[in-house]
Structure 1
């Protein structure tokens, strides 16, 4: 267990690079401003996936752009603030760039943490729980080593153009038709949290992916928080050592 005397912050689904580079830079600057605003109070920052609308690491090439946010993350990490990154469905081809260049650990699955005697299960949230079978099949194809090997042989200019097109146009990837609350019984992440709670107690479940700021009681002393997004809601979660709060910037 880690005792935290400062605050822990959670944010997800920035989708930098979409819908256009010009529009994305405005949101990127807003996010950087938010990071600046919390740096004196933050002990840890969790980024819960889809920081980029698309990301692919070739052996010696990474996507162009995102200098402001990458530079700010490097600055915060160098100042001693812990940062953890969970891969989302839009940046699932991330490898070791964040770990080697920014000293930010990267996770591809939900991970458990304990702070101040509170237990957290944290992840991006894609493909968890029942349903969403179309996306789950697609994810298996995208994460297959053979698929990645073939894609890597495309010239980056071609590969990035194809990926950016699919990221916006493919409904299974973009989730455009899914940005509405379905009700507790139909929310797959709520069902996932309830199932996990039968196996072990968690005080807080923190996920992104849904693009909706949500705060739902899973039991009398367990809560599911969805951090929303930085496209429409500009929301984040803040843990002050005892209480969890959803806030907007």
Structure 2
């Protein structure tokens, strides 16, 4: 478990689901500039930054090739990390084929499963959120196929010009991948990530659960001293999480 203690006037930031590259280069470029502007605004007081997946709408790392584009956001992340601010990246269902590019090029650790952190003595479980809880069954089946080593080996033999274009097309068009169903509020009792959190609380206490994936900004009180927060997205809501002193809450980026 990693422990983070904020310095005076410092904060911990969380963001998720930027889906850069979708639905097309023009629309993505506009969102990328907004996200980079937000990164630029937080760098002065960020003790740490958590990116909770689906930064890219499609991402596949060949051994020597990564998808073209996104230089502004990658450059800004490199700037923030080089200045000494820790950044933690959790892969989502759109960038689940991420390997070690972020770790080698940007010195940003990459996580494929939820992880426990302690922030100012608050215990926090953090992850993208895909495949957790009793639902999300279609994606769970898809993930088993897409993460199967033989399938990944086969895809790696496809020329990048074909493979990346095919992946981008599937990511935008296939609702199992694009997350079109993720933006519908199910009610506090029926939200499957909230159900997952409540089950975790039966064995382990967490002050906060922080996830993305749902594309909805949510703050659901699970117990008197436990909260589930979903970060929303940077397509419609432009919301993010901020841990200030001993409280974690959602904020909206002014566009």
Alignment partner of 1:195 is 2:196: no
2:223, 2:185 → 1: CA distance?
Answer: 19
TM-score normalized by structure 2? 0.96
| 3-state SS, counterpart of residue 4 of structure 2 | coil
2:32, 2:170 → 1: CA distance?
Answer: 22
Aligned 8 A contact 2:6 2:120 in 1: yes
1:113, 1:34 → 2: CA distance?
Answer: 24
* Offset at residue 138 of structure 1 (A): 0.5
TM-score normalized by structure 1? 0.98
Alignment partner of 1:184 is 2:188: yes
Unaligned runs of 5+ in 1: none
1:233, 1:2 → 2: CA distance?
Answer: 28
1:145, 1:229 → 2: CA distance?
Answer: 30
**Aligned positions, number:** 249
Listed one character per residue, the Cα deviations across residues 141-198 of structure 1 (whole Å, up to 9, x for unaligned) are 0000000000000011111111111101111111213311001222110000001111
* Offset at residue 116 of structure 1 (A): 1.1
* Offset at residue 245 of structure 1 (A): 1.6
Aligned 8 A contact 2:16 2:55 in 1: yes
Q: Which residue of the other structure, out of 201, 205, 214, is the alignment partner of 1:210? A: 214
Alignment partner of 1:123 is 2:132: no
* Moved >2 Å (runs of 4+): none
Aligned 8 A contact 1:119 1:204 in 2: yes
Aligned match of 1:147: 151
| 3-state SS, counterpart of residue 191 of structure 1 | helix
Alignment partner of 1:2 is 2:1: no
| 3-state SS, counterpart of residue 199 of structure 1 | coil
Q: Which residue of the other structure, out of 86, 109, 115, is the alignment partner of 1:111? A: 115
1:88, 1:107 → 2: CA distance?
Answer: 10
Listed one character per residue, the Cα deviations across residues 13-69 of structure 1 (whole Å, up to 9, x for unaligned) are 000000111111111010000001011110100000000000000010000000000
Alignment partner of 1:96 is 2:100: yes
CA RMSD of the aligned region, Å?
0.8
1:246, 1:2 → 2: CA distance?
Answer: 19
Aligned 8 A contact 1:115 1:241 in 2: no
Residues 1-249 of structure 1: pairs in structure 2 closer than 5 A: 1-5=3-7, 6-249=10-253
Aligned 8 A contact 2:14 2:241 in 1: yes
1:43, 1:3 → 2: CA distance?
Answer: 8
Unaligned runs of 5+ in 2: none
1:2, 1:205 → 2: CA distance?
Answer: 16
